[in-house]
Amino acid sequence: MGEKDVTSSKKAKSLKTTDPSQNPYLSHMYDTDVNGYGNAYGNDNYCGNGHSEENTLAHFKRHATTAEQAYKAEDGPNNPFTSQPLTKKYFKILQTRRDLPVNKQRQEFLDMFHSTQILVFVGETGSGKTTQIPQFVLYDDLPHLYGKLVACTQPRRVAAMSVAQRVADEMDVRLGEEVGYSIRFDDKTGPKTILKYMTDGMLLREAMHDRDLTRYSCIILDEAHERTLATDILMGLLKEVALRRPDLKIVIMSATLDAQKFQKYFTIEKEIERRTLRIEAPLLAVPGRTHPVEIFYTQDPEKDYVEAALRTVLQIHATEPEGDILLFLTGEEEIEDACRKIALEADEMIREADAGPLRVYPLYGTLPPAQQQKIFDPAPPPSRPGGPPGRKVIVGTNIAETSLTIDGIVYVVDPGFSKQKVYNPRIRVESLLVSPISKASAQQRAGRAGRTRPGKCFRLYTEAAFKKELIEQTYPEILRSNLANTVLELKKLGVDDLVHFDLMDPPAPETLMRALEELNYLACLDDNGDLTRLGQLASEFPLDPALAVMLISSPEFYCSNEMLSLTALLSVPQIFVRPASARKRADDMKALFMHPDGDHLTMLNAYHAFKGPQAQADPKGFCHQHFLSLRALQSADNVRMQLKRIMEKSELELVSTDFNDKEYYTNIRRALIAGFFMQIAKKDGTGKTYKTVKDDQSVLLHPSTGLSTDSEWVVYNEFVLTTKNYVRTVTSVKAEWLLDIAPIYYDLDTFPKGDIKTALQAAEKKIQRRKAMKGGR
DNA sequence: GAGCACTGC
């Protein structure tokens, strides 16, 4: 097969640059001298019989192999999965792999894997579990001989990509062939793929179309302790699939001491045909490889944690030996502020106390990638030979706790707080709240100090507070979210009886009731709680139910093309940027796109300008000039493409009203109501305040709005709870439209008495009068 | 006249 065949693949995708070796955040994971592999993704003439008799795995007995056999096969000379001669690079990596802590327990792992269907595996940081366990499984499960795959899930995309690349290197294959990955917008797998790293959300999507996950012979859920929504649902699902598919092997990998909880959860006992079926889930633990971290507590509680944090950082700089510092704070503003203060104080220390140079870097999710990358710059050297050490301080959010790993951190300062999502089912609002972290989180933070050598962690709370006040684990996401989307997914997965669906931590009944109610109003579920045709369609879209319903209904309003754009814009980060240093100029630029009837329309105008020929000639320049986020707009483009494909597949019409038609914007405003009729607020009469229709909450229009405050009724995209109650991204609508488009929700016979009902009744009369006039003509 | 912790489809 010629080189040309390999590179001229039809499947090569160009949506995004996804070569993980190009990812600056992962550069520390790659040996610079081992870059001999391109990422050309090949779809060659493989016909399913490439693994022939001479294959060293030929005599392996499935689910009865030994570690010794696997070692032999791994030792070459040929690659047991491709029959190709193994390269030098492979053997070099093999040496380091054999040194990993998991490797010592390979036989033990296999024994356990053979003896059971579900296995709980606990491996601490540095044990090598994410890269090695899936390979241990491959050599025993031999999925290529059965036309199956092994899947390994990750909570984050970058992890799925980078680990897949690493394992492809370890196995001496091209990424996308035997080893691949699958994440939203990027599928690097092919017909030869036997090991697939993927995001947990991606596997959940697949399950919606293949409830028994028949493509897989083994599913490995990695980082299960993070308890993402997708992981929790998958675990519940896998418990059921395990009973339907005795041939499916399941490995749950976790990093915490909470392993017994997983073990207990996966011990299944079920009566089938008067026989008791019992699946035990044995537990295997492997030590990690990290350096010790000494923990320090404060003597007394700190009143002002930011002030205490700054003091601690400066004290470390003044008194501790060489090594970088990581400080955890809660959000952008707090971090930027702290960075300024640290830099100022450090300058003074350098001038007056002969301290070493100190460089300060902020780190949070919304920071542009180029600036995020700076945290990997080396610390400054001492200002004179033999002088006090220079160092860097990184002031970051929780992103530094799991998502990004920075080597060289020796000192961690942990004030013990983070912003967490909380959901209040009573007022049906999700909000962000600064809250104390959990013990597990505190341990994870401390661990960041011991990656390269022994370190120190300064906790800005007392030891007693740590022991008594911090909860063990952060509450899993499923207990902190609006579950409308989750319930829709579960229904699509065939879970009819939600109350008895076995989740590891069942949410409050009220949260479930709220979700069912919301889906019922959206006509996604009927009165029996069964999925409707609309619900079926909505579940196909990777969107919140209200957005999905809005999009599906949009052809009826002759504006599905526009709603496609708007839906995409509403599911990416804010497209308007407003740097603190140029607020006025940013506002002036936004004014160019402003539509007086609403922020949704303003967003759409900006998007259309971005898609225009002038902007497309130089998107970067256009965005910079107009204070728009190129990243957000490009991401909206990606989302739009994906949604458009689903629209086409579902045979939903793509239509527009002529731009010069006077109904162009009216149609869009009406279409908003089809999904967001539960998010309407009415002016309170007295002045600036509005009242929500849903639960009579007093709210203000968010100051970022371009809408004049004289609109009687508005539809809002979100409710933000900060110093005040705000509704954000608002567009003016009419009461008549509400009655017309959402007659069940706005049924005047059952609508609760009050100002809103009176106003709706007036609108109803107006409609009747108009009808009568038309009828009389 | 305010503020987006972090993921994911």
pLDDT in tens, A112-168: 999 999 999 998 877 888 999 999 999 999 999 889 999 999 998 888 998 999 999
- Where does the pLDDT of residue A55 fall: very low under 50, low under 70, confident under 90, or very high at 90 and above? low
| Half-sphere exposure in the Cβ direction for A307 (13 Å, CA) | 4
Give the residue whose CA sits closest to B2 at C1'.
Answer: A703
CA distance between the termini of chain A: 79
For the ranges A246-255, A370-379, A451-460, A516-525, the lowest mean pLDDT is seen at A370-379
- Where does the pLDDT of residue A546 fall: very low under 50, low under 70, confident under 90, or very high at 90 and above? very high
Q: pLDDT > 70: what percent of chain A?
A: 92
Contacts of A773 (CB under 8 A, 6+ apart): none
Mean pLDDT of A270-289: 77
- Where does the pLDDT of residue A19 fall: very low under 50, low under 70, confident under 90, or very high at 90 and above? very low
- Where does the pLDDT of residue A771 fall: very low under 50, low under 70, confident under 90, or very high at 90 and above? confident
Task: List the A720 CA – B5 C1' distance (angstroms).
Answer: 15
User: What confidence tens digit (pLDDT) does each residue in A705-717 have?
Assistant: 998 767 899 999 9
The pLDDT score that the predictor gives to residue A583 is 83
Name which of A144, A188, A148 is nearest A167 in CA terms.
A188
The pLDDT score that the predictor gives to residue A43 is 35
Q: What's the whole-number average pLDDT of chain A?
A: 86
Answering whether pTM is above 0.85, one says yes
Q: Is it the case that residue A256 has pLDDT exceeding 90?
A: no
The bases of strand B with some atom under 7 A from any protein CB are: 1-9
Task: List the A743 CA – B2 C1' distance (angstroms).
Answer: 35
Task: List the A703 CA – B1 C1' distance (angstroms).
Answer: 5
Task: List the A85 CA – B7 C1' distance (angstroms).
Answer: 40
Locate A596 and state its tokens.
Answer: 């007086």
Nucleotide nearest to A587 (CA to C1'): B1
Could you give the 3-state DSSP secondary structure of residue A394?
strand
User: What confidence tens digit (pLDDT) does each residue in A425-444 have?
Assistant: 777 777 788 889 999 889 88
Contact A682, A693 (CB under 8 A): yes
Could you give the 3-state DSSP secondary structure of residue A244?
helix
Give the residue whose CA sits closest to B6 at C1'.
Answer: A399
The pLDDT score that the predictor gives to residue A369 is 75
**Is the C-alpha dihedral spanning A635, A640, A643, A645 positive or negative?**
negative
Neighbouring CB atoms inside 10 A of A102's CB total 25
Nucleotide nearest to A578 (CA to C1'): B3
Nucleotide nearest to A158 (CA to C1'): B7
Nucleotide nearest to A704 (CA to C1'): B2
Q: What is the dihedral of CA A602, A608, A609, A610, to 10 degrees?
A: 110
Nucleotide nearest to A401 (CA to C1'): B6
Q: What angle do CA A575, A577, A580 make, to 5 degrees?
A: 160
